[in-house]
Amino acid sequence: MGAAALAVGAVGLGCMPMSWAYSSSRQRGEESLRAVHRALDLGSSLLDTADMYGPFTNELLLGRVLKERRQDAFVSTKVGLLVGEQHIVANGRPGYVKRACDASLRRLQTDVIDLYQLHRADPEVPIEETWGAMAQLVQAGKVRSLGLCAMGARGGRRSGTRLHDGTIRQLQRVQQVFPVSAVQAELSVWSPEALETLLPWCEARDVGFLAAMPLGNGFLTGTLTPGQGFEPDDVRARHPRFTAEMMAANQPIVVGLRRIAARHGDGVTPAQVALAWVLAQGRHVVPVPGAKQERWVTENAGAGGLRLTAEDLAEVAELPRALGSWD
Ligand SMILES: NC(=O)c1ccc[n+]([C@@H]2O[C@H](COP(=O)([O-])OP(=O)(O)OC[C@H]3O[C@@H](n4cnc5c(N)ncnc54)[C@H](OP(=O)(O)O)[C@@H]3O)[C@@H](O)[C@H]2O)c1
């Protein structure tokens, strides 16, 4: 348990863009399969998915790889969110959690999930009950370790509180029931809030940390152009940092990453610097960059070998704060 459960390559693979959240017209199954194989070839063993991505199709896709290469992968999936016609709802009822786990195992074509994460707490079910059901899955041998996602934090925040105060309260409650092995939350050069309280909480308790959206939904790679527009089903079409105005205003962050990359030699990219910065935040931090193309997977895995200097880290700390906020 604890971070020891995360025996994985330095950089993981976020599988969400293959089936969810980004322009669906650019999702191609065969290309995604090649990307997953490439990740495993390069030792990017942590594959992060969720039953709701698709819904269900992302786990089905991974199942096609896992049935051949289960021993190469660390399977990290999530439970607790259901996709309806118009909206997404939380379901943390113990009976549902157990059925959802069996369904994920079938789709993933495996008999055990390495990390099972609670995607969102259900406001109508005490979190201890949901977590207790998840703990029983560990006892039944269907799951090896448990994790909690802190991604709902932005929505539920009261003014005057810090972003992850609510998550830390949830973590304290579930720890009374069964140990948390990993927390998943947004962490990137332009969204560093988890460094304030959440990551220190994890480090003090030997809990692993999965850094979601470590590339700032692609912005920090420097491959997006202000005003390029996004398809209506792409989260960035509604994201306050992805209006043409905010993308232009935040360019100095990309320029800074590019400058640092250039110091590390030809071929080093802003994306790799952004991931190396996440890796520099702690021993138990695993970035899970989302990617559905082999070339990005290769580039991102390469960040595992990039060590930022104290000068680089100081320069990132001096970059302007990102403009455009959900708050
Ligand atoms: N727990 C939660 O609630 C939650 C919420 C959000 C995300 N997550 C997890 O975090 C993972 C990562 O988040 P994310 O995918 O939203 O954001 P991200 O990793 O910050 O960025 C993903 C985007 O960057 C692009 N990209 C990746 N590598 C690139 C490179 N080297 N150069 C240029 N572009 C590159 C991808 O393009 P392509 O798609 O074209 O490859 C994709 O559009 C997800 O896959 C998911 O596993 C979890």
Six token digits for residue 74: 């660390």
Cβ atoms of 275 and 289 closer than 8 Å: yes
The residue written with tokens 């195992």 in the block is 105
Q: For residue 5, what pLDDT is reported? A: 79
**What count of residues does the chain have?**
327
Please state, in angstroms and rounded to a whole number, the distance separating the CA atoms of residues 148 and 142: 17
What CATH number does the domain containing 91 carry? 3.20.20.100
Cβ atoms < 10 Å from Cβ of 325: 10
Whether residue 327 lies inside any domain: the answer is no
The whole-model pTM stands at: 0.96
Catalytic residue status for 116: no
Q: For residue 84, what pLDDT is reported? A: 86
Q: For residue 154, what pLDDT is reported? A: 67
Whether residue 227 lies inside any domain: the answer is no
131 Cβ closer than 6 Å to some ligand 1 atom: no
- Ligand 1 pocket test: pick from 213, 239, 299 the residue with the most ligand atoms within 8 Å of its Cβ: 213
Whether residue 14 lies inside any domain: the answer is yes
Name which residue sits closest to atom 3 of ligand 1, judged by CA.
151
Q: What is the pLDDT of residues 60-111, one digit of tens each?
A: 999 999 999 999 999 999 999 999 888 899 999 999 999 999 999 999 999 9
Tally of structural domains, the chain:
1
Helices (H) and strands (E) in the chain, counts: 11, 10
Whether residue 173 lies inside any domain: the answer is yes
Judged by DSSP in three states, 26 sits in helix
178: which DSSP letter?
S
Q: What is the pLDDT of residues 117-175, one digit of tens each?
A: 999 999 999 999 999 999 999 999 999 999 999 976 666 566 678 889 999 999 999 99
Whether residue 244 lies inside any domain: the answer is no
Q: Ligand 1: distance of its center to the CA of 278 in Å?
A: 14
Please state, in angstroms and rounded to a whole number, the distance separating the CA atoms of residues 280 and 170: 26
Please state, in angstroms and rounded to a whole number, the distance separating the CA atoms of residues 7 and 115: 11
HSE-CB of 304 using CA atoms within 13 angstroms: 21
Whether residue 239 lies inside any domain: the answer is no
Q: What's at 112, amino acid-wise?
A: V
Whether residue 178 lies inside any domain: the answer is yes
For all residues of the chain together, what is the average pLDDT? 94
Q: What is the pLDDT of residues 37-60, one digit of tens each?
A: 999 999 999 999 999 999 999 999
289 Cβ closer than 6 Å to some ligand 1 atom: yes
| For residue 200, pLDDT beyond 80 | yes
Edge-to-edge strands, sheet with 113-118: 13-14, 46-48, 74-79, 113-118, 143-149, 182-186, 208-212, 285-287
Whether residue 51 lies inside any domain: the answer is yes
| For residue 288, pLDDT beyond 80 | yes
Q: Kindly write down the DSSP assignment for every residue of 80-124, as one continuous string.
A: SEEE-SS-EEE---HHHHHHHHHHHHHHHT-S-EEEEEE-S--TT
| Residue range of the domain that includes 165 | 2-219+271-308
Q: What's at 178, amino acid-wise?
A: F
| 151/228: higher pLDDT | 228
Q: What is the pLDDT of residues 265-277, one digit of tens each?
A: 999 999 999 999 9
Q: For residue 152, what pLDDT is reported? A: 67
Distance spanning both ends of the chain, measured CA to CA: 35
Catalytic residue among 22, 53, 96, 116: 53
Name which residue sits closest to atom 13 of ligand 1, judged by CA.
213
Q: What's at 88, amino acid-wise?
A: I
191 Cβ closer than 6 Å to some ligand 1 atom: no
| For residue 29, pLDDT beyond 90 | no
